[in-house]
A and B are shown apart, each in its own frame.
Chain A
Amino acid sequence: MAAGSEVYVLGGYQTDFARNWTKENKHFSALMRESVQGALQACEIAPEEVESAHVGNFAAELYCMQGHLGAFFTEVDPAFSGLPTGRHEAACASGSIALLAASAEIEAGRYDLQAVVGIEQMKTVSADVGGSYLGTAAWYELEAAGVEFPFPKLFGRLGDEYDRRYGLKDEHLAEISRLNYANAKLNPNAQTRTWYMNKDHALCRTEDNPAVGGRVRIADCSQVTDGAVTLFLASREYAEKWARGTGRKLSQIPRIKGWGHNTARLKFDDKIAESANAEYVLPHVRSTITSAMQRAGIPNVDGIDGIETHDCFTTSEYMAIDHFGITKPGESWKAIEAGWLEIDGKYPINPSGGLIGAGHPVGATGCRQVLDAYLQVTGQAGAYQVEGAKNFQTLNIGGSGTTSVSFVIGVD
């Protein structure tokens, strides 16, 4: 146990985001249990080995009438009795915050092996009630109270701001939707893998694709999802031991090479007012991305083999394209038209299907992105594998661009 250790990602497990746990008549505890046990099995780790555990979750108190989530570890296995546990919240970035906390404990030399669970069960309530719960990720009283589906409206306005500054065409947003759904078909755990979508449908302007927030239509939205993802993070010391024990080479085990973490003002209007004369529409998001790259020693996006970004709406992916530096600010459409974002393109984005295609169990998303990054850089992503990927970057956003976290996950 040494302070300043690098943080290794040993692997993890994702529940199938197409599942509806209420329909299966399952309790929150089952969601937690399946993801943790799945990760233990996938990583060949005995529960006794785990030294500390972190849970990322947004709003189980609202969706499931359940708090104190860390304590559910003791229900997963008797060996977890006595385990230090806790829960972290930063809206849709909750999973990434749990990962940051766990990795900080490893860097501090406190623990060598950490379990991190990102989890959200959302299909317990109707769409409008759930939409209102999600509104608590904004400044509820000022931006969400009495508003039907507040978040699509906030991210619709992100599109409006792009349109105002640079111009924005619906067909480019439709292309983002098409690609995420198409990639999701390749992902056995993606929520929308059987849903009907192509560019025509994304551009459909009838009641089969209704507007829910200005320019944002249903095809532009991420999903209401039940899901959990568990990851194991380890110190170098533990990773070496684990590599020997499981017949791996240390060099093949991905590390968190870099991270970025920022918070901007809560209200969307305040963020936009602040960036009026800035180069980027959401400067804090840009800073999160570049600080993760800097810490990883990667000068720019050309050193990144693929991205798992926070496409809670097509507008947020459109924003991410230029914020990652794939194009100049306002020119994201060029990357879309050039086909750069495809799995075999120059800058693959969301080979998993992202939040639109794979699903968005709010507190689990940051962990799901890191698990997909891990699968990519270890060549285990199956049909959505980016050939030869060594470095993958994530971007996870809470609120309307408020809390942002980014990780660079890579092997040498």
Chain B
Amino acid sequence: MAHAPMSAAQMRQILASRKIERVVVLGANGTMGYGSGALFTTAVPQVTFLARTKAKADEGLAAAIKQVRSPTVALRVTTGDYEHDLAAAVADADLIFEALTEDFAIKKDIFDKVEAARRDDSIVATVTSGLSINSLCEGRSDSFRRHFLGLHFFNPPNVIVGTELIAGRDTDAAIVDFVDAFSQLRLGREMIRAFDTPAFAGNRVGFKVMNECAQLAGEIGPLLADKLVGPYTGRAMTPLATVDLVGWDIHRAIVDNVYENTNDEVHETLRLPDYMAKLMEKGVLGNKTGGGFFKKEGKTRLVLDPRTGDYRPESEIALPDLDYIDQVAALHRDGRYREGMQVFLNAEGEYAKIARGVIAGYVAYAFNRVGEVTESIDGIDRIMGMGFNAAPPSVLVDTIGVRGVVDMIGEAGLAVPKVLAEAAKTGQPERFFDHPRINIGRFFVAQ
């Protein structure tokens, strides 16, 4: 089913068809719970934060206030617990937003309670980043399944606008359109419709790249791996620093889910490196445990040695000659992104080749997922740009040139996606990224 973007007038009309005046957030003490809850208070007059205990829900409210730096969040939020407050709050709610821990049984249990209490016309959304939308509503009433969908905000929801909208098999098209319009017009979201597949679109593609860098770090060390796939390749934050930020446990949950439940052409790049599993047993989970690939000791940045689990100061680690990266960064600094990426494309030496391999792998993987995770490359492009702050695959193709990208994919020993092979042959389409108002230069950081 093709989905055309809606005009402002259409969206306003759809928005007028229902009201969202009361929202209940379930699991409001978790990061996604309170973060999403704070976001809802920008547009909704009454938001109820629920958790296992009222004290936990209050903690969520305090965290929401801290996150958006406004005590006024409290003016629109009431708190409570599941046992005493869920039934009444859910019965009143226009939107019930589930943000519990990523555990099928726990979510099933709360949905039992929701189903018993909700009105037939209320919308039920889950922020799950991995569990199947169809499985989560399996066996429930018609009304529940028709009003149930995935609304996948990225963390932190008040900052990252890229959002995936995942309809189940039985979700009403009108409900999907409504949540889409509401999220765009009232919450300022960039909405991407993703299919109900493991990790959906953004995490499927984004974590594949990060995991490949983690695998690479096992061979050449995290410092060099992050330098090679650094900001100059089209990203605000380096891949391994990102894994440290999101947490190794979250990273593992996502790549394990994809590894176990899919079987694509580069399956092994989704396997968590053994050294990460071993270090996780010792309690290493990234920034939240004081360090992962990198850690700070005073002003010194320390780098993990994946073979030993020890850390060494960054300044003591010798890097090979990466002069080409400086050349690319100097061109990016003047806004000469095409010229910069030509230098990258033509750089000699094994390390430039490794870096090109990761970027080629990213582009090929994204184009190969079209039809599987989203309807078109545009959805993957927008979630990578607006969810991961990384150059969308189409932007890389347009900036490097399709023939250059095809060469890179070949050099990496990967099969060239058909649409890219065709474009290289025919010169059509001239451009893959068709969003004239989105700046593409913002993705290419001069470092």
Contact = CB atoms under 8 A, between A and B. Distances in A.
B41 A198 contact: yes
Residue from A24, A25, A29, A382 whose CB has the most chain B CB atoms within 10 Å: A24
A186 B188 contact: yes
Contacts of A249: none
Contacts of A265: none
Interface stretch (B23-31, B68-76, B192-200): B68-76
B12 A344 contact: yes
A383 B11 contact: yes
B41 to A, nearest CB: 7
Interface string A171-200: 000000000000011101100011011101
Contacts of A197: 42
B159 interface: yes
Contacts of A276: none
A384 interface: yes
Interface in A1-60: 13-16, 19, 23-27, 29-34, 37-38, 41-42
A26 B161 contact: no
A164 B71 CA distance: 31
A38 B433 CA distance: 14
B146 to A, nearest CB: 27
B336 interface: yes
Given A194-B158, A194-B161, A387-B9, A25 B447 contact: yes
A204 B187 contact: no
A13 to B, nearest CB: 8
A383 B446 contact: no
A29 B334 contact: yes
A25 B446 contact: yes
Interface in B207-226: none
Interface in B309-368: 329, 332-336
B334 to A, nearest CB: 5
Interface stretch (B110-118, B119-127, B402-410, B436-444): B436-444
Contacts, number: 110
Interface string B422-447: 00000000000000111101100111
Contacts of A16: 438-439, 442
B437 A188 contact: yes
B419 interface: no
Contacts of A32: 335
Contacts of B158: 194, 196
B184 interface: yes
Nearest to A200: B72
Interface in B150-185: 158-161, 184-185
A188 B190 CA distance: 9
Nearest to B7: A385
Nearest to A194: B159
B66 to A, nearest CB: 10
Contacts of A208: 69-71
B277 interface: no
Nearest to B157: A194
Contacts of A203: 72
A399 B68 CA distance: 32
A33 B185 contact: no
Contact of B335 (A31, A185, A383): A31
A193 B439 contact: no
A206 interface: yes
Interface residues of B, number: 41
B9 A33 contact: no
B250 interface: no
B8 interface: yes
A269 interface: no
Contact of A196 (B38, B160, B332): B38
B439 A15 contact: yes
Contacts of B184: 186, 383
B185 A24 contact: no
A365 B428 CA distance: 37
A11 to B, nearest CB: 10
B430 to A, nearest CB: 11
B446 A24 contact: yes
Interface string B52-84: 000000000000000011111001100000000
A201 interface: yes
Contacts of A38: 436, 439
B437 A30 contact: no
Given A186-B185, A194-B161, A208-B71, A30 B439 contact: no
Nearest to B431: A41
Contacts of A29: 334-335
Contact of B70 (A34, A75, A196): A196
B8 A383 contact: yes
Nearest to A33: B335
Residue from B42, B188, B336 whose CB has the most chain A CB atoms within 10 Å: B188
Contact of B333 (A27, A41, A384): A27
Contacts of B75: 200
A385 B11 CA distance: 11
Residue from B70, B185, B336 whose CB has the most chain A CB atoms within 10 Å: B70
Nearest to B38: A196
B339 to A, nearest CB: 11
A154 to B, nearest CB: 27
A39 to B, nearest CB: 10
Contacts of B38: 196
Given A25-B329, A198-B41, A33 B336 contact: yes
A34 B439 contact: yes
B334 A75 contact: yes
Contacts of B441: 15, 30, 34
A41 B441 CA distance: 14
Given A193-B161, A196-B158, A200-B76, A24 B445 contact: yes
A201 B333 contact: no
Contact of A204 (B11, B42, B70): B70
A33 B337 CA distance: 11
A196 B67 CA distance: 10
Nearest to A41: B436
5 contacts: A15-B439, A24-B442, A24-B446, A41-B436, A382-B8
Given A26-B334, A194-B161, A196-B158, 13 more contacts: A13-B436, A25-B445, A42-B436, A188-B437, A188-B438, A193-B161, A194-B160, A198-B72, A203-B72, A383-B8, A383-B11, A384-B8, A385-B7
In the complex, the 8 A-B pairs of residues with the closest C-beta atoms, listed nearest first: A185-B188, A30-B335, A200-B72, A33-B335, A196-B68, A25-B446, A16-B439, A385-B8
Interface of A: 13-16, 19, 23-27, 29-34, 37-38, 41-42, 75, 184-186, 188-189, 193-194, 196-198, 200-201, 203-204, 206, 208-209, 344, 381-385, 387
